[in-house]
Amino acid sequence: MFGPDPKTELGTYVLTAEYPKITVVVPTYNERENLPVLVAHLDALGIANLNVLVVDDNSPDGTGAVADQLAAESSGTVSVLHRKEKDGLGRAYVAGMTKALAGNSDVVIQMDADLSHPVSAIPTMLDRIRTSGAELVIGSRYVEGGSTAAEWPWHRKALSAWANFYVGAILSLKVKDATAGFKAWAAPALLQIDVASVSSDGYSFQVEMNYRAARKGLKIAEVPIHFEERVEGASKMNLREQLESALTPWKLRFQK
């Protein structure tokens, strides 16, 4: 797999025969009930050298303290990045991914803490990176075999499908699930797209990341997932993020 060249700050990656270091970056804000369940599910996969990096935005419900306890009990496989305030999903991912790269991770997985993304898909995502040369693997609701939550009302399903069509049409993205938040990245891909400079926030972050990957000509694959509705807590989507999500594709299309 990929290994770091110590000559650079974040690493220039070359092929090695060693087991890859995998880091799952999980942003959290008020997810104290869900986070321990997610960490347990990830641990149960039994994947060698899989690490979890929790990026907590000073959750008032004590998620940060729960994450610290999980880290203390994990023998080093769980770590926590504490941020001082709620600063948006995009900024949390940039901070977590940058830290993962600095820690010489070979593969970086991004997923939500609310249990909506099935951890059972991770072995397949990793296999695509190992065997097909994919540099970005998307856990997709809209390829054959994928699906959205059964609890979603028809208008929410229609809105999700429309959002993907809207983004794809404007940016000419050749992916079925352009707004997905469950992805596995080969570390060199994150370096190529310069993840530290990604400016979009909220759900627009996912669109900009995909767009940068496509512009760089990276090999993108999609694997089917069933997207679950959260059980505990509340969605973080608000009107400001919805408006930003609508404007971001146009900004990306016409930027220099």
The first and second tokens of residue 99, run together, are 């830290």
Higher pLDDT, 203 or 214: 214
The first and second tokens of residue 228, run together, are 């679950």
Question: Exposed, middle or buried by CB within 10 Å (0-12, 13-18, 19+), for 46?
Answer: exposed
Q: pLDDT digits over 139-166, tens only? A: 999 889 887 777 767 777 777 777 777 7
Distance CA 70, CA 79 (A): 8
Distance CA 78, CA 205 (A): 24
Distance CA 210, CA 136 (A): 9
Q: pLDDT digits over 3-41, tens only? A: 433 333 333 333 343 568 999 999 999 999 999 999 999
CATH number of 2-254: 3.90.550.10
Q: Return the axis-axis angle of helices 89-102 and 204-215, rounded to nearest 10°.
A: 50
Confidence band, pLDDT 50/70/90 cuts, at residue 244: low
Q: Which amino acid is at 64?
A: G
> Across the beta sheet with 183-186, what order do the strands follow?
78-82, 50-56, 22-28, 107-110, 183-186, 136-140, 220-224
Distance CA 209, CA 15 (A): 24
pLDDT given for residue 147 in this prediction: 77
Question: Exposed, middle or buried by CB within 10 Å (0-12, 13-18, 19+), for 17?
Answer: exposed
The first and second tokens of residue 79, run together, are 């770590």
Higher pLDDT, 233 or 158: 158
Mean pLDDT of the chain: 84
Count of Cβ atoms closer than 10 Å to residue 234 Cβ: 8
> Do residues 204 and 90 touch, judged by C-beta distance below 8 A?
yes
pLDDT given for residue 80 in this prediction: 98
Q: State whether residue 68 is helix, strand or coil.
A: helix
Q: Cβ contacts of residue 163 below 8 Å, gap of 6+? A: 179, 245
Check the CA dihedral 132-130-114-240 and report its sign. Answer: negative
Q: pLDDT digits over 74-107, tens only? A: 989 999 999 998 878 899 999 999 999 999 999 9
pTM, 2 dp:
0.83
> Do residues 71 and 150 touch, judged by C-beta distance below 8 A?
no
Distance CA 221, CA 131 (A): 12
pLDDT given for residue 4 in this prediction: 39
> Do residues 190 and 108 touch, judged by C-beta distance below 8 A?
yes
pLDDT given for residue 174 in this prediction: 83
